Amino acid sequence: MLELKVLGRPQVQVAGAALKLAPKRLALMAYLALEGRRGALPRAELCRVLWSGHEAESARRNLRQELHRLKQTPLSAHLHLTPEHVELLDYRCDALDFAALGAAVPDPARLTAALSLYGGPLLAEVDLPDEGVDEWLRLKRAELHQRFLEWRRVQAAELAQQGDLTGAVEALSALLDAGDEAAYGETMRLQARLGQREAALHTFARLEMALGELNLTPTPEILTLRDRLRALPAAPQAGSLSRPPLIGRDALLLDLETHLTSRGGLVLIEGEPGIGKTAVLDALARRWGLGLRLQGREESAATPFSPISEALRLHLGHLAALPAAWRRELARLLPELEGPEPPLPQRGDEGRARFLAALSAALEHLLGGGLLHLDDLHWFDAASLEVLGLLWRGGGWRAVASARPLERSRNAALDRLLGALTRRGVAEQRTLTPLSETETLQLVRALSSPHGGVRFAQRLFQSTQGHPLFVLETLKALFEAGELREEGGRWHTDFDSATEDYRELPMPGSVRAAVRSRLALLGDAARQLLSSAALLGEAFSLAELEGSTPLSAWAQLDALEAVLGAGLIEPSEMGSRRYRFSHHLVQRALLEDLSAERRRWLHQQLSVTLERLQVPAARLAVHLEGASQLRRAAAAHLQAAGEAQAVYAHREALFHLERAVGCGLDAPAAFEAHLQRAAVYRTLDDKARWEDALRAARAVAAVPAEWRRLELMEAELAFYRGRYEAVLARTQALWNAADATPEQRGWLGLWAGNAHSRTAQLAEAAGWYGRALQAAPAEAHELRGRLLNAWAYACYVRSDLAGGREKAAEAMACFEAAQHRKGQAMVHNTLGSLAYAAGEYAQAAAAYAEAYRHSLDIGDLPSQRLALTNLAGTHLTLGQPGEALEAVNRGLELLEDLPDPYAERLFYEDLFDIYTLRHQPDKALASLERSLALADQHGWADWSAEGRIKKLEVLLSAETGPLLGAEGQALLGDIQARLPALPTALRRSCEEQLARLAGQLGAVTPTSRPPL
């Protein structure tokens, strides 16, 4: 079977295999299929149509040759040839199927199927210059296309009646392309019903332009609809990455409309490439109607009158209404306008002035009092700008233009024109700035879904600084890399959980090209300066670049001023002599263009200068490492890690410690670095990485002293993992070791005592603390403070409040002597617990708040969590649910970065009590359910039982009679089933509470819990 698809892009298939044919042979096959459907066609007819411009013999020879070539293809079996006739056999053609439906509109059930047959105009994109076949094609195309359009109009009406307005608009789109004014009006009405104000005004602008070519205007009905649409406020925009919505420019658009309406003149919108200038002009055009647009182009910036000639060619029909003298002048630029009379000869300045006046008159005629849009004004040639100057000599005109600051400053003719207009008071400037972080979030939500995306948008903003082009291209790169995907109309990404920003992604090619284009305009000196600066990181000064470029001091200053003017860098602080890149992606583009050898050489030069300037070790280490001076780099990284830890910059300390290890430390130094890593992970309460760091230290430990220190830290980790029996066994063995130092015995006593304290063996704990204090050196202030504070907490648990306060005071003195902020936070927490036990709740709250302040200052997350947990419970005891809620919310935010199920359960227990005090039973019960789920998940039997008793109280208080509902009865049975597994004392307490609740109704009083 031969399959011929000739509607739209032609396709020929024989037995399922595609066959490619030349245009003339395609036309021959189509003619045979459509006109020979009732039988063979005379060769003479084929010659007359397909080779109308040839002599008869030449035409017959061409036909014989084409048929011979077709017979050499798989089409041979489908061609029956006789000396006088040609017939196509055993075929199917989409155009015949479409034509066979007849002129009548198919019934609704068959309409969609019928329209699907029409793939486009007959033999679309086939170029056949012969007049005969061209005429046949024109008539046949018109016949089939007209039928298609009428069926589309019927389909649109039926869809609108069914409520599918969007489908109706889509159905009418083909009629718009055909210039059907009635379809334009109906489309505008449908778009208005859909709330698509901007789309309806854009549809009107298309109609106005189409009719303008014919010197016609829209009907009064359509003009009235346009005016009503313009009076409506703009709707929120949705969009896609290919057609993004305009975000963050509403205030500017309102300002532009107000200014142009009240004052007129020119408003110049300036901004760097990709900032959204054209998008603002497009939005303004949709609000005002299209007006007249002149487009500047870089490739034709040196071609006289290029923007004007391009615009005039789009409106040749309108120019017919100009006086003949003007048209003759315009014909010099537009030969299409040449008439019977040639243009007057050019005669010096007079002839030139007449020609420029004609161009000005043509623009004024096309504008008709509308708005003139000048896109990329910086690329306008001097001659075009001179015409605009003539156009703007009088008053009553309005224009809006876009320009890049750097290119605009280099266009002397444009600077002169703008200066003259500004002095006349008819030109103003607006500067377009990047999107804010909030506007970046709005853009992400407009493109994806109306909720969420906060963290995603924050990181996207950090990477792009809100530059619209960089934002959109980074999003496209995320999609292309598979890091961003769309599922169910929402965006999803796993990238947030893996990294802090998007610097790991490949640089989008369009962004790299934009940056390179900007750098090319600035010249080699600017690029050399920026390439060195890119390696210096977040901020740099001219002094730090010394020796890394071949530039003299004066040339370096010139280059700095040039890149500042281009907006590629900016002062890092107001009045500062340090600078930073305006966009991180600009810096990335520069770095990616550096070869490995050039990068190494620049690092070497920069390290020499930075060392001479005595910059912090953290900055120097990067360049020493980049210059392959690994031994010196490792030393600098270790120094930087120590400096970071001194100011509690834990993440920075980890970075430098890991870089130092990567530079190839010897075994003793690597051991120390791994122990420091373990200490930082301990502060961050990251037990898994803490254990990894200790494992790495054990791999390089070589002497008994190192093994002993390692065993101490492993004992500490075991304690915090709750492995108390292992802690006691390990510490006892190490304590008895003959080579244990006094300080090591002090730490061993601390962990042994803490393990006993956690297992309620308080006397044993106190014994270990005492022995450890006797062993610990007097100058070991931190160790002694830890021992005394742990002993004070054991006193609190034993209700020895006086002894606890005495020990806490001694501990505070030790920590102050050691300047150990974490220790001070620990003592404040202990003092809070002692005050709470004494019923001094206000003092307890103050102590816990001080513990939180200290731990917050040093970035100690476990200490912050502990302080907030106790602070929330104390505020509840004081009857301060607002303050308690603030502490709980801070704690839950902290758990996002530092998960801890036990603390989370406590916080939700507090939330239950807070909402109970506030008489919000639904929220209280939801918080209690979350706390119970955590208790059940982690096997905390005591709270699983006690929490259910609280829930039973809530259900009892909600009942209106003495009998429990079904849920309450089931809960009661669940609690009774759990009691036998509880410790004796707790089981008796729970049984007493159940007995008290039996048959009772009433309000629930929040239960206070002791502090930790």
Q: 372-385, pLDDT tens digit by residue?
A: 999 999 999 999 99
Q: How far apart are CA 479 and CA 494, in angstroms?
A: 12
Give the per-residue pLDDT at 102: 66
The dihedral sign for the CA sequence 914, 919, 925, 926: negative
Q: How far apart are CA 416 and CA 435, in angstroms?
A: 31
Model confidence at 1008, pLDDT cuts 50, 70, 90, reads very low
Quick check: 292 and 372 in contact, CB under 8 A? yes
Report residue 159 as tokens: 């869809």
Give the per-residue pLDDT at 786: 92
Give the per-residue pLDDT at 383: 93
Adjacent-strand bridge partners of 256: none
Give the per-residue pLDDT at 504: 53
Quick check: 464 and 441 in contact, CB under 8 A? no
| E strands in 206-360 | 265-270, 292-295
Q: 271-288, pLDDT tens digit by residue?
A: 988 899 999 998 888 777
Report residue 646 as tokens: 């001194």
Q: Which residues contact 954 (CB under 8 A, 6 or more apart)?
A: 921, 924, 925, 928, 1004
Q: How far apart are CA 138 and CA 154, in angstroms?
A: 24
Nearest alpha-carbon partner for 553 in 567, 563, 543, 562 = 543
Where does residue 215 fall: left (phi above 0), alpha (psi -120 to 50 degrees), or beta otherwise?
left
Give the per-residue pLDDT at 480: 75
Q: How far apart are CA 188 and CA 210, in angstroms?
A: 15
Q: Is the pLDDT of residue 963 over 50?
A: no
Kindly state the average pLDDT of the residues 202-209.
76
CA distances from 11 to 2, 4, 116, 947, 956 (A): 11, 6, 16, 74, 78
Kindly state the average pLDDT of the residues 26-36.
88
Quick check: 219 and 226 in contact, CB under 8 A? no
Burial class (CB in 10 A: 0-12, 13-18, 19+), 559: buried
Q: Is the pLDDT of residue 505 over 60?
A: no
Secondary structure of residue 6 in the 3-state scheme: coil
Looking at the chain, how many residues does it have?
1012
Residue type, 174: A
Q: How far apart are CA 445 and CA 55, in angstroms?
A: 68
| Angle 780-781-783 from CA coordinates, rounded to 5° | 70
Say which DSSP state 506 is in.
Answer: P
80: how many CB neighbours lie within 10 A of its CB?
12
Rg, C-alpha atoms of the chain: 41
Q: 298-318, pLDDT tens digit by residue?
A: 888 899 999 999 999 988 888
Q: How far apart are CA 375 and CA 295, in angstroms?
A: 5
Q: Which residues contact 568 (CB under 8 A, 6 or more apart)?
A: 518, 519, 522, 530, 581, 582, 586
Residue type, 54: H
Q: 160-190, pLDDT tens digit by residue?
A: 888 888 888 988 888 887 788 889 999 999 9
Q: How far apart are CA 496 and CA 116, in angstroms?
A: 44
Q: How far apart are CA 552 and CA 194, in angstroms?
A: 64
Nearest alpha-carbon partner for 638 in 660, 610, 666, 619 = 660
Kindly state the average pLDDT of the residues 16-24.
85
Among 143-147, 393-397, 677-681, the range of highest mean pLDDT: 677-681
Q: What is the DSSP string of 678-694?
A: HHHHHHTT-HHHHHHHH
Q: How far apart are CA 673 and CA 201, in angstroms?
A: 67
Residue type, 861: L
> Where is pLDDT greater, at 86 or 234?
86
The dihedral sign for the CA sequence 18, 19, 20, 24: negative
Model confidence at 693, pLDDT cuts 50, 70, 90, reads very high
Q: How far apart are CA 30 and CA 16, in angstroms?
A: 18
Give the per-residue pLDDT at 125: 65
Q: If you count DSSP H runs as helices and E runs as strands, how many of each does the chain have, helices first? A: 47, 16
Which contacts of 893-900 are long-range, i.e. CB under 8 A and separated by 24 or more positions? 894/861, 894/864, 894/865, 894/868, 895/865, 897/861, 898/684, 898/685, 898/861, 898/862, 898/865, 900/685, 900/865
Q: Is the pLDDT of residue 981 over 80?
A: no
Quick check: 286 and 253 in contact, CB under 8 A? no
- Looking up tokens 């109280």, which residue turns up? 953
Q: How far apart are CA 822 and CA 854, in angstroms?
A: 7
For residue 852, how many C-alpha atoms fall within 13 Å in the half-sphere facing its CB?
20
Secondary structure of residue 891 in the 3-state scheme: helix
Q: 42-57, pLDDT tens digit by residue?
A: 999 888 888 887 888 8
Burial class (CB in 10 A: 0-12, 13-18, 19+), 665: buried
- Looking up tokens 């001694």, which residue turns up? 810
Say which DSSP state 540 is in.
Answer: B
* pTM as predicted: 0.54
Where does residue 216 fall: left (phi above 0), alpha (psi -120 to 50 degrees), or beta otherwise?
beta
Model confidence at 347, pLDDT cuts 50, 70, 90, reads low
Q: What percent of the chain has a predicted confidence (pLDDT) above 70?
A: 92
Quick check: 372 and 398 in contact, CB under 8 A? yes
Kindly state the average pLDDT of the residues 201-224.
78
Quick check: 956 and 1000 in contact, CB under 8 A? yes
Give the per-residue pLDDT at 581: 86
CA distances from 896 to 536, 742, 859, 901, 914 (A): 33, 41, 15, 11, 21
Say which DSSP state 79 is in.
Answer: E
Secondary structure of residue 75 in the 3-state scheme: helix
Secondary structure of residue 53 in the 3-state scheme: coil
Adjacent-strand bridge partners of 486: 491
Q: How far apart are CA 401 and CA 411, in angstroms?
A: 15
Both ends of the chain: CA-CA distance in Å? Answer: 86
> Where is pLDDT greater, at 9 or 870?
870
Give the per-residue pLDDT at 229: 80
What SS3 string covers 123-138?
Answer: CCCCCCCCHHHHHHHH
Report residue 385 as tokens: 């700008």
**Separation of CA 784 from chain center:** 51
Secondary structure of residue 616 in the 3-state scheme: coil
| Angle 34-37-39 from CA coordinates, rounded to 5° | 130
What SS3 string covers 766-781?
Answer: HHHHHHHHHHCCCCCH
Give the per-residue pLDDT at 290: 56
Q: How far apart are CA 837 and CA 841, in angstroms?
A: 8
Give the per-residue pLDDT at 349: 80
> Where is pLDDT greater, at 137 or 103?
137
Mean pLDDT, rounded, of the chain: 85
517: how many CB neighbours lie within 10 A of its CB?
11
Secondary structure of residue 7 in the 3-state scheme: strand
Range of weakest confidence among 71-85, 334-348, 565-579, 691-705 = 334-348
Q: 610-637, pLDDT tens digit by residue?
A: 999 999 999 999 999 999 999 999 999 9
Kindly state the average pLDDT of the residues 460-482.
82
Q: Is the pLDDT of residue 344 over 70?
A: no
| Angle 665-671-676 from CA coordinates, rounded to 5° | 105
